[in-house]
Structure 1
Amino acid sequence: MSDPSPSISNVRKSEGNTLTAMLQVHNEEDRYLEEVLTDLSTYVDHIVIVDDASTDRTAEICKSFEKVIKLVQLPESLFAEEWKLRSILWQAAASTSPDWLLAVDADELYEERAKRNIRGLINQNRYDSVSFRL
C-alpha cells in the first residue's frame, strides 16, 4: 500500500541561500531607520518593509536603499490591530520567495559576531529556523 500523503521535498540548502530582512516602520525619520537600513545592507540580500501610514519622510528614506526590494505603504495605520500589520508584513516578505527571513525592528542592530556568522547559520541543511536570545 502506498503512502497517501504528498511528497515533501527538502527546501534546505547548504549553500547559496538568500537572506531577506523584514521590518515594519512608522514615522522613523528622526530615529534609527537610516542607521538600521545601512547596517542591514551590509549583510542581507534584500529588505522588505511595511510602512504603517507614516506622515514623515520614512518612505523616502526606505526607497533610497538599493536592497529595499519591496515597500508596502499603508494609507491608514493598523497599529491598533498589530496582527493585521504583521500579516501584511509576512505576506509581503513571503511574496519575494526568500530562502531565509530575518525579522528586525526599526531600532534594532545586530552585534558584529551575529553578522559575521549569519551566513553559516543560513547555509546549512539541518535546521528550519534559528532564533536569537535577547
Structure 2
Amino acid sequence: MRLVVLLQARNEQRFLPGWLENVAPAVDGIIALDDGSEDATAEILAGHPKLIQLIRNPVGQPWSERGNHIALIKAARQHGAEWLLCVDADERLEQRFAGDIAQILDDADTKGIEAYSLQLRELWNDRSHYRKDGIWGRKARYRLFRNDPRHTKFDPRPLHRYWMPLDIVTRLASVGAHLPHNLYHLRMVRAEDRQARHQRYVTLDPDNRYQPQGYDYLVDETGMELATIPPERDFLPRRDSALFE
C-alpha cells in the first residue's frame, strides 16, 4: 500500500464528513485513532470503505498526542504503508493534491526525498479567505513522510511536535522538500472556535514552553490581512457541513 492517511480524533463528528470527502480520494487507505470520543466519531470512521484500521482508546483517558502519533505510525507499519500523510479532522487538502500525489511520490523516489511540508492556511470568517499577515503567512507543516520501519525515535514533545520520526527530522536539510499545495485549517473560521482553541492551548501550555510566542496571537486581529483562495486552489467539499452546523 503506497499512501495511508493517519488521523487522531476526539469528538470530531462535526468535521469528519468533510474530512473524509476531502482526504479519501488522495489516499489508498485510512488508519484512525478514536481517542475516547463520546459522539459519533468512531461510527463515522468505521463506516468508510477506505478505513483499514480503527484504534480505540477508552473514554476518559488523558489526551496523549505523542502516544497517539506513535500508535498510528506503528499500525501503518503493520499494514505495509510506504508513505504516511497526516491530516487533522479540521484540515482540508486543496483539491489538486489528489491528482498530483502519485507524481509527487514518484519524484520523491527519484530525488531521495523523505518528507514534504505543505503551506498551512488558517481560514478566517469564511471558507474562502485565509490570513496572510505576519506569522500567518509563514506557517508550513511537514505532514507527508516516508514510512521506514528502521526509524524508531520520535519527537518527545507533548505539543506542536513532528509526526515523522526524528531520524528524518534531523536530516530535513537534505531529505526534506516543500510542496506547492495548501493545507486549509477550518477551526479558525468562527470566532468562537478561535477563542476555544486559544483557551485550550493556554491550559495545556500555560508557560509557553512548547511555543515561545505564546497563544494570544490566535485571537488578535491587529493588522489582519486576508487573502482569497483562487478557484484553482480550492478544496472539497464546497459546502462543508463543519462550517454550517
Normalized against structure 2, the TM-score is what?
Answer: 0.45
Q: With CA pairs under 8 Å and 6+ residues apart, which has the higher RCO, 1 or 2?
A: 1
Correspondences of 1:1-134 after superposition (within 5 Å): 18-29=2-13, 31-76=14-59, 77-79=61-63, 81-124=64-107, 125=109, 126=111, 127-134=113-120
Q: How many residues align?
A: 116
Greater share of strand residues, 1 or 2? 2
- AA aligned to 1:20 is V
RMSD of aligned residue pairs (Cα, Å): 1.5
- Asked whether the equivalents of residues 78 and 84 of structure 1 are also in contact (C-alpha less than 8 Å), the reply is no
Identity of matched residues, %: 34
Kindly state the Cα deviation for residue 94 of structure 1 after the two structures are TM-superposed: 2.2
- Asked whether the equivalents of residues 21 and 101 of structure 1 are also in contact (C-alpha less than 8 Å), the reply is yes
- AA aligned to 2:9 is V
Runs of 4+ aligned structure 1 residues displaced above 4 Å come to: none
Gaps of 5+ in 1: 1-16
- Asked whether the equivalents of residues 121 and 130 of structure 1 are also in contact (C-alpha less than 8 Å), the reply is no
- C-alpha distance after superposition, 1:29-63 (max 9, x if no partner): 1x110111122221210000011011111111001
Q: Distance in 2 between matches of 1:38 and 1:82?
A: 24
- C-alpha distance after superposition, 1:95-123 (max 9, x if no partner): 21101110110111101232221111112
- Asked whether the equivalents of residues 26 and 97 of structure 2 are also in contact (C-alpha less than 8 Å), the reply is no
- Asked whether the equivalents of residues 78 and 85 of structure 1 are also in contact (C-alpha less than 8 Å), the reply is no
Gaps of 5+ in 2: 121-245
Kindly state the Cα deviation for residue 89 of structure 1 after the two structures are TM-superposed: 1.8
